[in-house]
Amino acid sequence: MLNKLIANILPYMPKKLIWVFSKRYIAGETIEDGLLASKLLNEKGIEVTIDILGEFIHSIDEAEKNKNEYLEVIERFTDENVKGNFSLKPTSFGLLIDQEVCYNYLREVVELVASKNSFLRIDMEDSQCVDMEIDMFRKLRQEFPKHVGLVLQAYMRRTKSDLEGLNDLNSENAPISFRLCKGIYVEPENIAFKDFHEVQENFLADLKYMFENKMYAGIATHDKYLVDESKKMIQEMNIPKSMYEFQMLYGVTPELRQSIVDEGHRMRVYVPYGKQWFGYSTRRLKENPKMAQHIIKALFIRG
């Protein structure tokens, strides 16, 4: 209860205080910060996916600015041979302002990604965005089948049917690629599972469907139970290493992450950076109130 109370109060505290917590989970504010963090992870045998923070914007001017920054990032990261790809939230491109502009900006970015023989994953956002983001993914997947993927959230009751509905896009030459995560947005019970174990069960059911249908699976979790059960499923179903990877957030459960790498599984870390880090940080805090302890400790204990 105390952790939840702290987590609810901290977003209203000075940003300098929140940064004490955030700097562990965010690479920094600049492209150079993102590059440095990514290269250090590469040296440990870990690939990355880069995300520029700044969703839920208020103007198309902001959307264009974000689009241009992504174009710059893709050029820099590919030119410097960073082992990784890119993640993008459509609301940062104006999804809730003008869908057509958002799609055109998104397509421009994916076109550059394809020209660099790289890959971009469309992040899934809250329930108001799901249908729009699936529709955009479907259109882009048809044009750029090897260069665009999507995130699906296991706590959404609709996810299994979404997997089934998108299966027509799958092919042997270009397996459809999904990142499967639990989901972090606050949603009503009629559209999202609330029970912790129920979410775990649906995560594994969705993952099994992906494997059965030869989809590429990004297994995005810090839940050791889900990691262990995923590894069992991989072994029992004889899933080749070319058809899955584990994914984790920057700065979260590094010991579990390293154990997965040591066992020879492919690992990708989600590396967020940018000046709009405050909203991302407070969402992470609400998702895991235990993190509040680290903030309080950091205020009094150096390092």
pLDDT in tens, 68-113: 999 999 999 999 999 999 999 999 999 999 999 999 999 999 999 9
47 or 186, which is more confident:
47
Residue 11 lies in a domain: no
* Token pair belonging to 109: 């970015």
pLDDT at 3 over 60: no
Phi and psi based region of residue 233 (left: phi greater than 0; alpha: psi -120 to 50; beta: remaining): alpha
Does residue 286 belong to any structural domain of this protein? no
- Whose tokens are 């977003």? That residue is 11
Reference 87, options 206, 243, 205, 250; nearest CA is: 250
Residue 121 designated active-site: no
Asked whether residue 282 is assigned to any structural domain, the reply reads: no
The torsion angles phi and psi of 152, rounded to 5 degrees, stand at: -125, 150
Q: What residues pair up with 179 in beta bridges, in sequence order? A: 151, 218
Residue 251 lies in a domain: yes
How many angstroms separate the CA atoms of 137 and 151, rounded? 10
DSSP label at residue 289: G
Domain ranges, residue 94: 27-273
Could you identify the residue written with the tokens 């996810």? 159
Give tens-digit pLDDT for 163-193. Answer: 999 999 999 999 999 999 999 888 999 999 9
* Radius of gyration over every alpha carbon of the chain, rounded to an integer in angstroms: 19
The average pLDDT across 199-224 equals: 98
Query: What SS3 class is residue 150?
Result: strand
Tokens of 264: 């020879």
Catalytic-role residue among 51, 141, 162, 179: 179
Say what the pLDDT of residue 11 is: 61
Catalytic status, residue 268: no
Residue 13 located in a structural domain: no
Specify the pTM.
0.90
DSSP 89-140: -GGGGTTTT-HHHHHHHHHHHHHHHHHTT--EEEPP--TTTHHHHHHHHHHH
216 phi, psi to nearest 5 deg: -80, 130
Residue 96 confidence (pLDDT): 96
Instruction: Output the pLDDT for position 276.
Output: 77
- pLDDT per residue as tens digits for the range 108-155: 999 999 999 999 999 999 999 999 999 999 999 999 999 999 999 999
Residue 185 domain-assigned (yes or no): yes
Question: Domain tally for the chain?
Answer: 1
Higher pLDDT, 241 or 303: 241
Q: Which of 51, 123, 162, 206 is catalytic?
A: 123
Higher-confidence residue of 252 and 234: namely 234
Q: Per-residue pLDDT averaged across 12-28, rounded?
A: 75
- Residue 208 inside a domain? The answer is yes
Q: Is the pLDDT of residue 301 over 70?
A: no
* Residue 284 lies inside a defined structural domain of this protein: no
Contacts of 132 (CB under 8 A, 6+ apart): 90, 95, 99
Decide: 132 and 138 in contact? Cβ < 8 Å: no
How far the first Cα of the chain sits from its last, in Å, is 26
CATH number at residue 37: 3.20.20.220
